[in-house]
Amino acid sequence: MDRFLKDFSHKMGFWGLLIRVDRTDLKNTTTLLALEFNHANVKRILVELKSEDYSQGPLTDKLYGRSDMWVFGKTLKGREVYIKIQLGLPRSETLCISFHFAEHRMNYPFKK
């Protein structure tokens, strides 16, 4: 997972980041508005992810088949945020599939 975070950060710095805000449930958009976050804020949070923030993964991407998905969580402005990211396709941007308030308590196997 540490290798994934390093690869993700490096690729995001080179190819960029696509944040899914086209979801029909609007969870990502609603959370970004509530946190008063923009694209740069999300990028900063993703670069700062550590192994202690890990929750699940790798998970198979059955919808798009792009690459494995990894789940992390962060407490931001007093609320737990569910973050699901993936490297995406080769020679393209990384993907933030989910960035929304957690709907259930998250498990952090590496948190001390």
| pLDDT tens profile 16-67 | 999 988 767 799 999 999 999 999 999 999 999 999 999 999 999 877 777 8
Express as a percent the part of the chain with pLDDT over 90: 80
* Residue 32 belongs to a domain: yes
For the whole model, what pTM was predicted? 0.93
**Dist CA 12 CA 7 (whole Å):** 8
Confidence band, pLDDT 50/70/90 cuts, at residue 112: confident
Q: Is 9 part of a structural domain of the chain?
A: yes
Q: Tell whether 12 is covered by a domain.
A: yes
Q: What is the total count of domains within the chain? A: 1
Residue at 108 is within a domain = no
- The mean per-residue pLDDT over the stretch 64-81 comes to 92
Domain that holds residue 19: 2-78
